[in-house]
Amino acid sequence: MTTTSKPGGGTARRSVCMAEFNGSHHGRPTASEIGGDPMLRIIAVGDSDRARALGRDGRLEVVRARDGFEAIGEAGLTGTEDRVCPTVVLLAPDAVDARDLEQFVQAVHLVDPTTRVVISNANDVLPSRIEGLDTIGSDPTPDALLQLVNAVESDPQEDSADDGAAIPLDHAPSDLEALDDETLRIAGRTDGTLLRALLAGRDLAEVCLHQMRSTLGESVRFIAREDDKAHAPSIAMDESLQPVTHRDTLLGWLIGPSEAQDDLELEADRLALALVVDRQQRQLRDSAFVDHLTGAWNRRYFERSMESLLLDARERRIDLTLLLFDIDDFKIYNDRYGHAAGDEILVETVRLLRAMVRPGDRVCRVGGDEFAVIFYEPSGPRAPGSQPPRSIFEIATRFQRAICEHRFPKLGEDAHANLSISGGLATFPWDGHDLHTLMEHADRLLIQSKREGKNALCLGPGA
Q: What is the 3-state secondary structure (H, E, C) of the chain?
A: CCEEECCCCCCCCCCCECHHHCCCCCCCCCCHHHCCCCCEEEEEECCHHHHHHHHCCCCEEEEEECCHHHHHHHHHHHHCCCCCCCEEEEECCCCCCHHHHHHHHHHHHHHCCCCEEEEECCCCCCCCCCCCEEEECCCCCHHHHHHHHHHHHHCHHHHHCCCCCCCCHHHHHHHCCCCCHHHHHHHCCCCCHHHHHHHCCCCHHHHHHHHHHHHHCCCCEEEECCCCCCCCCCCCCCEEEEEEEECCEEEEEEEEEHHHHHHHHHHHHHHHHHHHHHHHHHHHHHHHHECCCCCCECHHHHHHHHHHHHHHHHHHCCCEEEEEEEECCHHHHHHHHCHHHHHHHHHHHHHHHHCCCCCCCEEEECCCCEEEEEECCCCCCCCCCCCHHHHHHHHHHHHHHHHHHCCCHHHHHHHCCCCCEEEEEEEECCCCCCHHHHHHHHHHHHHHHHHCCCCCEEECCCC
- Structural domain of 156: 19-166
- What is the CATH classification number for the domain harbouring 24? 3.40.50.2300
The residue that leads in pLDDT, 3 or 215, is 215
The pLDDT value recorded for residue 197 is: 61
Half-sphere exposure of 391 (CA within 13 A, CB side): 17
Q: Note whether 181 and 159 are same-domain residues.
A: no
Using CA atoms, how far apart are residues 90 and 136, in angstroms rounded to an integer?
9
Query: How many other β-carbons are positioned within 10 Å of the β-carbon of residue 390?
Result: 11
Examine the fold and report which residue of 289, 314, 332 is the final residue of a domain before the chain moves on: 289
Q: Note whether 273 and 320 are same-domain residues.
A: no
Average pLDDT over residues 56-70: 83
Q: Flag whether pLDDT at 84 surpasses 80.
A: no
Please indicate, yes or no, if residue 238 is contained in any of the structural domains.
Answer: yes
Q: Flag whether pLDDT at 222 surpasses 90.
A: yes
Please indicate, yes or no, if residue 145 is contained in any of the structural domains.
Answer: yes
The pLDDT value recorded for residue 367 is: 93
Using CA atoms, how far apart are residues 185 and 105, in angstroms rounded to an integer?
14
- What is the CATH classification number for the domain harbouring 390? 3.30.70.270
Picking from 5-14, 41-50, 220-229, 286-295, which range would have the lowest pLDDT averaged per residue? Answer: 5-14
Using CA atoms, how far apart are residues 189 and 214, in angstroms rounded to an integer?
13
The residue that leads in pLDDT, 93 or 29, is 93
* 97 confidence band (pLDDT: 50, 70, 90): confident
How many distinct structural domains can be found in the chain?
3
Q: Note whether 223 and 370 are same-domain residues.
A: no
The pLDDT value recorded for residue 223 is: 92
The pLDDT value recorded for residue 379 is: 64
Q: Flag whether pLDDT at 399 surpasses 60.
A: yes
Q: Note whether 328 and 404 are same-domain residues.
A: yes
Measured CA distances, 291 to 20, 230, 297 (Å): 15, 36, 6
Q: Note whether 318 and 228 are same-domain residues.
A: no
Q: Flag whether pLDDT at 383 surpasses 80.
A: no
Q: For the chain, give the mean pLDDT.
A: 76
279-331 pLDDT tens trace: 766 776 777 788 989 999 999 899 988 998 998 899 889 899 999 999 999 99
* 7 confidence band (pLDDT: 50, 70, 90): low
User: Please, are residues 442 and 425 in contact by the beta-carbon 8 Å criterion?
Assistant: yes
Average pLDDT over residues 368-379: 89
* 456 confidence band (pLDDT: 50, 70, 90): confident
Q: Flag whether pLDDT at 404 surpasses 70.
A: yes
Q: Note whether 31 and 143 are same-domain residues.
A: yes
Please indicate, yes or no, if residue 95 is contained in any of the structural domains.
Answer: yes
User: Please, are residues 304 and 366 in contact by the beta-carbon 8 Å criterion?
Assistant: no
Average pLDDT over residues 40-61: 88
Please indicate, yes or no, if residue 8 is contained in any of the structural domains.
Answer: no
Picking from 74-78, 95-99, 253-257, which range would have the lowest pLDDT averaged per residue? Answer: 74-78
Please indicate, yes or no, if residue 3 is contained in any of the structural domains.
Answer: no
When mean pLDDT is compared over 68-72, 205-209, 237-241, 312-316, the highest value belongs to 237-241
Share of the chain above pLDDT 70, in %: 71
Q: Flag whether pLDDT at 25 surpasses 60.
A: no
Q: Note whether 189 and 122 are same-domain residues.
A: no
Q: Flag whether pLDDT at 162 surpasses 50.
A: no
241-284 pLDDT tens trace: 999 988 788 999 999 999 999 999 988 888 887 787 777 667 76
Using CA atoms, how far apart are residues 330 and 327, in angstroms rounded to an integer?
5
The residue that leads in pLDDT, 270 or 37, is 270
Examine the fold and report which residue of 258, 289, 320 is the final residue of a domain before the chain moves on: 289
Please indicate, yes or no, if residue 455 is contained in any of the structural domains.
Answer: yes
Q: Note whether 311 and 453 are same-domain residues.
A: yes
Average pLDDT over residues 420-447: 93
The pLDDT value recorded for residue 1 is: 45
Q: Flag whether pLDDT at 81 surpasses 90.
A: no
Q: Note whether 43 and 81 are same-domain residues.
A: yes
The pLDDT value recorded for residue 20 is: 32
The residue that leads in pLDDT, 234 or 229, is 234
Please indicate, yes or no, if residue 59 is contained in any of the structural domains.
Answer: yes
Q: Flag whether pLDDT at 24 surpasses 50.
A: no
Q: Flag whether pLDDT at 34 surpasses 70.
A: no
Q: Note whether 153 and 218 are same-domain residues.
A: no
* 217 confidence band (pLDDT: 50, 70, 90): very high
